[in-house]
Structure formats: C-alpha cells, structure tokens
C-alpha cells in the first residue's frame, strides 16, 4: 500500500510535465493530440507485454537473465534518449 501511494504521488508530479514535453516536441499545430495518443497506446501495450515477457523469461530461463536484459535496456536507453530526443527537441526550438 505504501508503494502504491508513492507511485501515485510520483505520477502526480511527472504526469503533467510528460504531457507538456510531448506537445513541445511535436508542436502545438502539428497534431499533438495524435502524437500523445500514440504515446499512450505504446505505453499501454508495453505495460501489458513487458510483465508477461519478463515472467516468461524468469520462469523458463532464469531470474538473472531478466536482471541483465533490464540492465542492458537501461544502458541503451540512457544513450539513445539524449542523442535522439534532445537533439530533435533542440532543432524544434531553433
């Protein structure tokens, strides 16, 4: 229950900024609602597929494999986000 409360408080703080960032990246006059809809759709699909895939890997391959895959994905995204999103956002602002 404590964890759920902390996650809800966290969502209250970053939810609005997340929506605003999507509109800032796409632009207000360039179908921002459609981009936000696609973003929400992908997040929902990821929320369904991710735990199912993680459980399958945990049950059939092992728990350390899930840990290593998650660590690898985090490293890849730490490299991709600054190089792709930030440069695109910088180009839009100029």
CA–CA separation, 77 and 19 (whole Å): 20
Task: Report residue 29: phi and psi, to 5°.
Answer: -95, 5
Q: What is the pLDDT along the chain (94 residues), one digit of tens a residue?
A: 888 888 888 878 877 777 777 777 777 677 777 888 888 898 899 889 988 988 888 899 888 888 898 899 899 988 887 776 666 555 555 5
CA distances from 62 to 22, 65, 71, 73, 75 (A): 37, 6, 15, 17, 21
pTM: 0.57
């Amino acid at each position: 229950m404590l964890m759920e409360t902390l996650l809800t408080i966290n969502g209250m703080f970053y939810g609005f900024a997340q929506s605003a960032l999507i509109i800032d990246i796409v632009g207000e006059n360039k179908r921002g609602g459609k981009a936000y809809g696609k973003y929400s759709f992908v997040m929902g699909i990821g929320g369904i597929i991710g735990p199912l895939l993680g459980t399958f890997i945990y049950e059939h391959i092992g728990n350390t494999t899930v840990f290593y895959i998650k660590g690898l994905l985090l490293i890849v995204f730490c490299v991709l986000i600054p190089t792709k999103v930030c440069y695109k956002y910088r180009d839009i602002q100029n």
